């Protein structure tokens, strides 16, 4: 039986998912969280096998929480569950190592299938997302962030959250000098002149919505 943690800032969404899964023998919902911060604590206490993570939440947000969980807990897999199905967002989320991507329009049968696939060690991407990813590549539709490495994207997100060089260095286990180098590289690659412009590019690309409160 797969131990599942549900993370969404809407009570009705969490309750609905739990209700839909309560009769599924292969899945056990072991907890619910309303934020990325709560999810980090719950992962340590409850040891889920899979985290079903909403992408856009106040505070840390689902993407940052997913990335931290993946980095910290090698045995926990993350499935993103979101209303967002645009290719640039899903493409960068997948870059961070999430194991699955579902839209909130997915049916219960697809959700169960995704959980089983991910639990078996496979990656699952909702067909509507996979189609948009494929079309974006065929059409040459690129986000400004496509040229960034995973580490550069991590630094960019933290800059957009208002973190200082010292804070970024501590969280990513880098030296302040290396962090400054990444910041300078981001300014050059994204043709920006300051952190405000970097944050605007990050949000325009749909990669995140809210700064850490």
Q: What is the mean pLDDT of each run of 10 residues along the chain (213 residues)?
A: 95 92 92 95 96 88 88 92 62 76 85 91 80 57 72 84 86 89 90 86 62 34
Number of helices (H) and strands (E) in the chain: give both, helices first. Answer: 10, 6
Q: Under a CB-based contact definition with an 8 Å cutoff, are residues 73 and 43 in contact?
A: yes
pLDDT of 44 reads 94
Q: Under a CB-based contact definition with an 8 Å cutoff, are residues 51 and 76 in contact?
A: yes
pLDDT of 211 reads 37
The burial class, CB within 10 Å (0-12 / 13-18 / 19+), for 118 is buried
Q: Give the Cβ contact number of residue 134 at 10 Å.
A: 11
Q: Which of 159, 161, 142, 143 is nearest to 151 (CA)?
A: 159
Buried b / exposed e over 181-200, threshold 16 CB at 10 Å, is ebbeebbeebebeebeebbe
Q: Rounded to an integer, what distance in angstroms lies between the CA atom of residue 145 and that of residue 136?
A: 14
pLDDT of 118 reads 94
Domains observed in the chain: 2-138 (3.40.50.2300), 144-204 (1.10.10.10)
pLDDT of 140 reads 52
pTM attached to this predicted model: 0.68
């Amino acid at each position: 039986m797969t131990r599942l943690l549900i993370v969404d800032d809407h009570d009705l969404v969490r309750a609905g998912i739990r209700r839909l899964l309560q009769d599924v023998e292969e899945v056990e919902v072991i907890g619910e969280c309303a934020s990325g911060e709560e999810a980090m604590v719950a992962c340590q206490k409850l040891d889920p096998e899979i985290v079903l993570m909403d992408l856009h939440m106040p505070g840390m947000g689902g993407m940052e929480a997913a990335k931290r969980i993946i980095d910290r807990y090698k045995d926990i897999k993350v499935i993103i569950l979101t209303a967002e199905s645009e290719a640039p967002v899903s493409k960068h989320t997948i870059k961070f190592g999430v194991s699955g991507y579902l839209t909130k329009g997915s049916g219960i049968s697809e959700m169960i299938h995704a959980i089983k696939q991910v639990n078996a060690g496979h990656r699952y991407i909702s067909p509507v997302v996979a189609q948009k990813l494929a079309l974006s590549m065929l059409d040459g539709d690129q986000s400004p962030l496509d040229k960034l490495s995973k580490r550069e994207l991590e630094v960019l997100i933290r800059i957009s959250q208002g973190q200082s060089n010292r804070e970024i260095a501590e969280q990513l286990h880098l030296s302040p000098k290396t962090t400054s180098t990444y910041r300078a590289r981001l300014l050059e690659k994204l043709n920006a002149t300051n952190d405000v412009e970097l944050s605007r590019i990050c949000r325009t690309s749909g990669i995140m919505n809210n700064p850490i409160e």
